[in-house]
């Protein structure tokens, strides 16, 4: 008769197993679970004894999961996620009772534009939380999958992992900005004429890291963009444009007209505005999570009322 692996298993060990499988690092797993590294080592040994498998093998770069560990993680992760959602949904949600850290990752355009409004909106309803707003990085999508970041905000990403929901919640509009005394005097410009400008653009990881929106749009017309400057900081781009003849294709959310001496030029693609979608990114398991629904309800009006 096959061994019953469930009846005498401490279910807390499964949580440890999943975190170890995500992190592949004892120290990081202990930090996420708020226990000591010796406690993680002890739990891992119990898991090895129970499943009669090494599960994780030490390497120079951390832990390597065995084939059995990968199969086990793939099977039990959805079950534990569903259990977590069910238990959390059974409690009446009140943001005023929230404590700890709320961690969100935003595209640099959005982080620079709405950080204060977002912080104020969250704290107005959840006064006891610490709010951390991070610049979207190469690790953000993995961090969301591993519950290290609750929610991300970026433009449409074609290579987002299947574990993440990509939910459009707002629409941006990109406008060109030049210094006040720039030699170009018109109030609008067709994309095809952008080749006559040297451009300065913001780097937004996962969205335009390797190719800016300006380059993508010009490529559709069979044209090459002339990119003179790129930075992850919108403020750095604004400073360079203010002291050169470059144009900055910028998000409406930055509200540059209100805060700088730059002049706006409407960018048109065959006489239409360029309006990329802004999306919320979160794990499938959190689609009905009350905290996630609350955060989305805060973000949606904040972005859609932003002019």
**C-alpha torsion sign, points 150, 156, 157, 160:** positive
- 15: number of Cβ within 10 Å: 15
> What does the buried/exposed string (b/e) look like for 258-297 if buried means 16 or more CB atoms within 10 Å of the residue's CB?
eebebbebebbbeeeebebebbbbbbebbeebbbbebbee
227 - beta bridge partners? 199
Give how far Cα 27 sits from Cα of 23, 35, 275, Å: 9, 10, 43
DSSP state for residue 247 in the 8-state scheme: B
> What CA–CA distance (Å, rounded) separates 107 from 169?
14
* pLDDT tens digit at each of 307 positions of the chain: 456 677 778 888 999 999 999 889 999 899 888 899 999 999 999 999 999 999 999 998 889 999 999 999 989 988 887 787 777 666 678 999 999 999 999 999 899 899 999 999 999 999 999 999 999 999 999 999 988 899 999 999 989 999 899 999 999 988 999 999 999 989 998 888 878 889 999 988 988 777 777 777 777 778 788 889 999 999 999 999 999 999 999 999 988 887 678 999 998 876 667 788 999 999 988 888 889 999 999 999 999 985 4
Map out the domains of the chain with their CATH numbers. 12-89 (1.10.10.10), 98-171+277-304 (3.40.190.10), 174-273 (3.40.190.10)
Of 34, 38, 163, the C-alpha closest to 101 is 34
Whole-structure pTM value? 0.73
The whole-number pLDDT of residue 197 equals 87
What distance in Å separates the CA atoms of residue 145 and residue 163, rounded to the nearest whole number?
A: 7
């Amino acid at each position: 008769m096959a061994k019953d692996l469930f009846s005498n298993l401490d279910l807390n060990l499964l949580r440890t197993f999943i975190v170890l499988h995500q992190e592949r690092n004892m120290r990081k797993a202990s930090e996420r679970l708020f226990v000591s590294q010796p406690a993680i080592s002890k739990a891992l040994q119990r898991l090895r004894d129970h499943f009669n498998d090494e599960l994780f093998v030490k390497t120079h770069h951390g832990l390597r999961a065995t084939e059995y560990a990968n199969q086990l993680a793939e099977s039990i992760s959805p079950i534990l996620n569903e259990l977590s959602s069910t238990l959390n949904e059974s409690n009446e949600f009140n943001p005023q009772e929230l404590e700890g850290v709320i961690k969100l990752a935003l595209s640099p355009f959005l982080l620079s534009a709405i950080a204060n409004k977002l912080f104020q909106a969250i704290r107005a309803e959840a006064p006891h939380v610490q709010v951390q707003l991070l610049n979207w990085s190469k690790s953000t999508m993995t961090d969301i999958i591993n519950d290290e970041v609750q929610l991300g905000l970026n433009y449409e990403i074609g290579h987002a992992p299947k574990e993440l929901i990509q939910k459009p919640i707002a629409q941006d509009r990109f406008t060109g900005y030049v210094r006040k005394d720039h030699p170009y005097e018109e109030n609008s410009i067709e994309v095809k004429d952008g080749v006559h400008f040297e451009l300065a653009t913001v780097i937004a990881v996962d969205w335009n890291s390797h190719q800016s929106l300006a380059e993508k749009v010009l490529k559709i017309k069979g044209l090459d963009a002339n990119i003179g400057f790129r930075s992850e900081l919108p403020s750095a781009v604004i400073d360079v444009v203010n002291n050169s003849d470059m144009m900055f294709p910028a998000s409406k959310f930055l509200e540059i007209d209100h805060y700088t001496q730059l002049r706006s030029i409407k960018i048109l693609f065959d006489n239409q505005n360029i309006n990329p979608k802004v999306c919320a990114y979160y794990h499938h398991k959190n689609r009905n999570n009350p905290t996630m629904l609350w955060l989305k309800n805060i973000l949606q009006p904040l972005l859609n009322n932003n002019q």
